[in-house]
């Protein structure tokens, strides 16, 4: 028996070891800044770019960053040997270790693509003042007091709004041709007679709230009486949970369902429901969902990260990496955000409407968070409305100006990461994780 146990245990452990061997027990900052300073004197003329990625090319969000980096590098003539990649870096000390290792290998610009990397990037940045560190989607650079630590975040809420317009156009069409009506689809209406739309969110953080509010306002600009139900998966990427959450929203009667979660779980579930004859359509995120949901997918809100990387790499090539703005945020104006190709199910005239809205956002005549278009607990936002960024109970910034809530307003010195964290009237946010 004992021999059996022994064998069984060694087999078990062998299995567990192969499962664990990819994990990287790693560390954060080393104290020896001395050897780094000599290596980093080349920062003004050359060096390499180090990239720390939370996933690899198989994960949509990371794939979009990789594409952006490669495009920007190709445009600027940066050789592929000058870019070092670290894939599948977990949001723990493995990130600090990866960052230090990149510096060791001659990186003078280090980029990480996930929010959770930020705390480790900041720690390493403090130890290597001659190397520029960029924590994408982060929010602590401005408060860190470090000249070599930067944040950047696209104004994704703009493309969210436009994707909402696409969804609104479809909804209006469905109502007009009678596919959605109180008689035919009673589930799609609330007790107050509003039409239900849904949203699969990851976490109830400002980044997500800002995105779904913009999406909701986009739909609402076309169909005024909409009610949005937001359900959360408590994960940025969970194929199964996103699918079941979408199924729940479909069962609730939602007609248009969008998402802030990184997989194709929701569009696939929506496509299945659509094929079974339910009028329900998907608005995706990051990548076009037409492949998994050819009939149900309308479009996806998306980012073109190459716009930022182009800017940052250019500064770096010019020896001005330290002058990269601490907080960078751009949108339609420079092409940093967009929506993916429209699906065949989109309503007639969507193309023209999208072009019109995009042009209005670009020239500033349309503001996504126009305080005249929404209320919170029945009241409109005023210039006294503040955002509590450090969660200490007091407002830190007041982003409302001239009837507009300015999101990611780096021009006025605000951070690039979204801070619109309000649940507005008409949105039902069901977080219980």
Residues at the interface with other proteins (CB under 8 A): 2, 5, 9-10, 12-14, 16-32, 35, 56, 84-88, 90-93, 97, 100-101, 104, 115-116, 118-120, 122-123, 203-205, 390-391
Q: Which is nearer to other proteins, 84 or 376 (CB)?
A: 84
Q: Which is nearer to other proteins, 173 or 238 (CB)?
A: 238
d(CA 193, CA 402): 33
CB of 143 to other proteins, least distance (A): 12
Q: How many angstroms separate the Cα of 127 from the Cα of each of 30, 35, 122, 327?
A: 8, 12, 9, 21
Q: Which is nearer to other proteins, 204 or 294 (CB)?
A: 204
Q: Could you tell me which residues come within 8 angstroms of residue 16 by beta carbon, excluding any fewer than 6 positions away?
A: none
CB of 360 to other proteins, least distance (A): 33
Cite the DSSP H helix spans in 118-186: 118-127, 141-144, 156-176
CB of 128 to other proteins, least distance (A): 12
Note the residue count of the chain: 433
What count of other Cβ atoms lies within 10 Å of the Cβ of residue 433?
Answer: 8
According to DSSP, the residues that pair with 401 across neighbouring strands are 404
CB of 150 to other proteins, least distance (A): 18
Q: How many angstroms separate the Cα of 224 from the Cα of each of 40, 162, 239?
A: 57, 16, 32
d(CA 316, CA 126): 19
Q: Which is nearer to other proteins, 3 or 411 (CB)?
A: 3
Q: Which is nearer to other proteins, 207 or 330 (CB)?
A: 207
φ, ψ dihedrals at 389, nearest 5°: -75, -30
Q: Which is nearer to other proteins, 68 or 138 (CB)?
A: 138
d(CA 213, CA 217): 6
CB of 183 to other proteins, least distance (A): 43
Contact 113, 68 (CB under 8 A): no
Q: Which is nearer to other proteins, 42 or 119 (CB)?
A: 119
d(CA 177, CA 213): 27
Contact 257, 199 (CB under 8 A): yes
CB of 346 to other proteins, least distance (A): 35
> Among all chains, which residue has been given the structure tokens 């479909």?
250
**Left (φ > 0), alpha (ψ -120 to 50) or beta: where does 56 sit?**
beta
DSSP 386: -
Q: Which is nearer to other proteins, 92 or 334 (CB)?
A: 92
Q: How many angstroms separate the Cα of 336 from the Cα of each of 4, 154, 303, 319?
A: 61, 6, 6, 24
Contact 303, 160 (CB under 8 A): no
CB of 51 to other proteins, least distance (A): 10
Q: Which is nearer to other proteins, 29 or 327 (CB)?
A: 29
Q: Is the dihedral of CA 187, 191, 193, 195 positive or negative?
A: negative
CB of 144 to other proteins, least distance (A): 10
Q: Which is nearer to other proteins, 204 or 386 (CB)?
A: 204
CB of 56 to other proteins, least distance (A): 6
CB of 23 to other proteins, least distance (A): 5
């Amino acid at each position: 028996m004992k021999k059996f146990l022994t064998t069984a245990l060694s087999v078990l452990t062998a299995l567990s070891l192969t499962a664990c061997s990819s994990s990287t027990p790693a560390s954060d900052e080393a104290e020896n800044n001395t050897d780094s300073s000599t290596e980093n004197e080349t920062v003004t003329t050359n060096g390499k770019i180090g990239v720390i990625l939370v996933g690899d090319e198989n994960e949509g969000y990371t794939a979009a960053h990789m594409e952006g980096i490669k495009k920007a590098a190709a445009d600027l003539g940066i050789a592929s040997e000058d870019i070092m990649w670290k894939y599948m870096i977990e949001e723990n000390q493995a990130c600090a270790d990866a960052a230090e290792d990149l510096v060791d290998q001659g990186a003078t610009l280090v980029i990480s693509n996930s929010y959770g990397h930020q705390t480790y990037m900041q720690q390493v940045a403090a130890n290597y003042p001659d190397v520029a560190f960029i924590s994408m989607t982060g929010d602590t650079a401005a408060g860190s007091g470090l000249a070599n630590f930067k944040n950047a975040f696209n104004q994704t809420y703009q493309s969210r709004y436009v994707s909402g317009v696409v969804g609104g156009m479809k909804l209006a069409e469905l109502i007009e041709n009678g596919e959605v009506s109180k008689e035919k689809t009673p589930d799609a209406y609330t007790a107050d007679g509003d039409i239900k739309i849904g949203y699969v969110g990851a976490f109830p953080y400002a980044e997500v709230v800002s995105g779904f509010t913009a999406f909701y306002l986009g739909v609402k600009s076309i169909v005024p009486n909409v009610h949005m139900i937001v359900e959360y998966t408590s994960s940025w990427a969970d194929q199964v949970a996103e699918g079941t959450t979408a199924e729940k929203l479909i069962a609730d009667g939602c007609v248009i369902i969008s998402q802030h979660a990184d997989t194709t779980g929701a569009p696939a579930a929506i496509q299945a429901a659509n094929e079974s004859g339910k009028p329900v359509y998907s608005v995706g995120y990051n990548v076009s969902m037409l492949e998994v949901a050819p009939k149900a997918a309308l479009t996806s809100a998306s980012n073109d990260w190459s716009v930022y990387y182009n800017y940052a790499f250019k500064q770096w090539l010019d020896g001005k990496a330290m002058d990269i703005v601490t907080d960078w945020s751009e949108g339609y104006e420079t092409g940093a955000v967009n929506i993916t190709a429209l699906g065949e199910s989109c309503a007639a005239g969507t193309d023209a409407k999208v072009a019109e809205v995009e042009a209005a956002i670009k020239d500033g005549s349309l503001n996504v968070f126009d305080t005249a278009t929404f209320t919170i607990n029945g009241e409109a936002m005023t210039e006294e409305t503040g955002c509590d960024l450090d969660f200490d109970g007091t407002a830190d910034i007041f982003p409302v100006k001239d009837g507009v809530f300015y999101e990611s307003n780096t021009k006025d010195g605000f951070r690039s990461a979204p801070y619109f964290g309000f649940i507005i009237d008409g949105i039902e946010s069901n977080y219980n994780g």
